[in-house]
Structure 1
Amino acid sequence: MYSFSPETFAARRRDFMERIGPDSVAILVANPESTRSHDTNFPYRPSSDILYLTGFREPQTVVVIAPGHDEGEFVMFVRDRDPNKEQWEGRRAGPDGAKAQYGADAAFTVGELEEKLPEFLEEREQLFYTLGRNAEFDKRVTRWVNKLRHRRNKPSGAPGALIDARDILHDMRVKKSDEEIELMRQAVDVTAEAHVLAMKHCRPGIKEYELQALIEYHFRKNGAEFPAYTSIVGAGDNATILHYVENRDVIDDGDVVLIDAGCELGFYAADITRSFPASGKFTSAQRDLYDAVLEAQIAVVDHIAPGVPYNELQDMAKRKLTESMIDLKLLSGSVDELIEEEKYKKYYPHSIGHWLGIDVHDVGPYHDTEGSWRPLEPNMVLTIEPGLYVPENDEDAPEALRGVGVRIEDDILVTEDGYENLSSACPKATDEIEALVGTGAD
Structure 2
Amino acid sequence: MKDWRLIYIIFAKSEDKLYISNKNRQAYFVLLSVCIIFVRINLKNCNVMFDKETYVQRRALLKKNIGSGVLLFLGNDEQGLNYEDNAFRYRQDSTFLYYFGLSFAGLSAIIDIDEDKEIIFGDELTIDHIVWMGTQPTLKEKSERVGIRETLPSAAIISYLHKAVQKGQTVHYLPPYRPEHKLKLMDWLGIPPARQEGSVPFIRAVVAQRNYKSAEEITEIEKACDVTADMHIKAMEVIRPGMYEYEVVAEMNRVAEMNNCELSFPTIATINGQTLHNHYHGNKIKSGDLFLIDAGAELPSGYCGDMSSTVPADKTFTSKQRAVYEIQNAMHLESVKALRPGIPYMEVYDLSARVMVEGLKGLGLMKGNADDAVREGAHALFYPHGLGHMMGLDVHDMENLGEVWVGYNGQPKSTQFGRKSQRLAIPLEPGFVHTVEPGIYFIPELIDMWKEGKKFTDFINYDKLEEYRDFGGIRNEEDYLITETGARRLGKKIPLTPEEVEALR
TM-score (norm 2): 0.77
Distance in 2, matches of 1:100 and 1:366, equals: 34
Q: Which residue of 2 aligns with 1:197?
A: 234
Q: What amino acid maps onto 1:384 in structure 2?
A: V
Q: What amino acid maps onto 1:433 in structure 2?
A: V
Quote how far apart the aligned CAs of 1:36 are.
Answer: 1.2
| Unaligned stretches of 5+ residues in structure 1 | 145-160, 438-442
Q: Does the aligned pair in 2 maintain the 1:308–1:375 contact within 8 Å?
A: yes
Q: Which residue of 2 aligns with 1:34?
A: 79
Q: Which residue of 2 aligns with 1:154?
A: none
Are 1:435 and 2:487 counterparts? no
Match of 1:74, SS state, is: strand
Are 1:378 and 2:422 counterparts? no
Q: What amino acid maps onto 1:42 in structure 2?
A: F
- The answer to which of 264-273 and 29-38 deviates more is 29-38
Q: Quick one: which of 168, 186, 211 aligns to 1:139?
A: 186
CA deviations over 1:38-79 (Å, ceiling 9, x no partner): 33221111101100001111222111011362xx62210012
Q: Which residue of 2 aligns with 1:292?
A: 327
Q: Quick one: which of 406, 409, 431 aligns to 1:368?
A: 409
Higher-RCO chain (CA-CA 8 Å, sequence separation at least 6):
1
Distance in 2, matches of 1:232 and 1:221, equals: 20
- The answer to which of 23-32 and 161-170 deviates more is 161-170
Q: Which residue of 1 aligns with 2:268?
A: 232
Q: In the superposition, relative to structure 1, how do residues 90 and 288 fare at CA in structure 2: closer, same or farther (>3 Å)?
A: farther
Q: Which residue of 2 aligns with 1:25?
A: 70
Q: What amino acid maps onto 1:19 in structure 2?
A: N
Are 1:357 and 2:385 counterparts? no
CA deviations over 1:167-199 (Å, ceiling 9, x no partner): 211221111000000110111011111111111
Q: In the superposition, relative to structure 1, how do residues 321 and 424 fare at CA in structure 2: closer, same or farther (>3 Å)?
A: farther
Q: Quick one: which of 467, 474, 477 aligns to 1:399?
A: 467
| Unaligned stretches of 5+ residues in structure 2 | 1-46, 192-197, 399-404, 414-424, 449-461
Q: What amino acid maps onto 2:489 in structure 1?
A: N
Q: Which residue of 1 aligns with 2:248?
A: 211
Q: Does the aligned pair in 1 maintain the 2:435–2:480 contact within 8 Å?
A: yes
Q: Which residue of 2 aligns with 1:60?
A: 106
Distance in 2, matches of 1:419 and 1:141, equals: 45
CA deviations over 1:205-258 (Å, ceiling 9, x no partner): 11111111111111111121x2000001011xx111100011111111111111
Q: What amino acid maps onto 2:483 in structure 1?
A: T
Between the two proteins, the alignment pairs up a number of residues equal to: 415
Are 1:187 and 2:224 counterparts? yes
Q: Which residue of 1 aligns with 2:349?
A: 314
- The answer to which of 5-14 and 401-410 deviates more is 401-410
Distance in 1, matches of 2:264 and 2:75, equals: 19
Quote how far apart the aligned CAs of 1:392 are.
Answer: 6.0
Q: Which residue of 1 aligns with 2:377?
A: 342
Distance in 2, matches of 1:297 and 1:375, equals: 19
Distance in 2, matches of 1:402 and 1:183, equals: 40
Are 1:103 and 2:147 counterparts? yes
Q: What amino acid maps onto 2:173 in structure 1?
A: Y
Q: Does the aligned pair in 1 maintain the 2:226–2:492 contact within 8 Å?
A: no
Quote how far apart the aligned CAs of 1:127 are.
Answer: 2.2
Quote how far apart the aligned CAs of 1:380 are.
Answer: 0.5
CA deviations over 1:377-414 (Å, ceiling 9, x no partner): 11100101000012467684252573331001010110
Distance in 2, matches of 1:306 and 1:356, equals: 17
Q: Quick one: which of 66, 69, 86 aligns to 2:130?
A: 86
Distance in 1, matches of 2:479 and 2:406, equals: 18
Quote how far apart the aligned CAs of 1:204 are.
Answer: 0.9
Match of 1:239, SS state, is: coil
Q: Which residue of 1 aligns with 2:311?
A: 276
TM-score (norm 1): 0.87
Distance in 2, matches of 1:51 and 1:125, equals: 25
Q: In the superposition, relative to structure 1, how do residues 124 and 307 fare at CA in structure 2: closer, same or farther (>3 Å)?
A: farther
% same residue: 29
Quote how far apart the aligned CAs of 1:338 are.
Answer: 2.4
Distance in 2, matches of 1:61 and 1:176, equals: 25
Q: Quick one: which of 362, 365, 377 aligns to 1:327?
A: 362
Match of 1:110, SS state, is: coil
Match of 1:65, SS state, is: strand
Q: Which residue of 1 aligns with 2:91?
A: 45
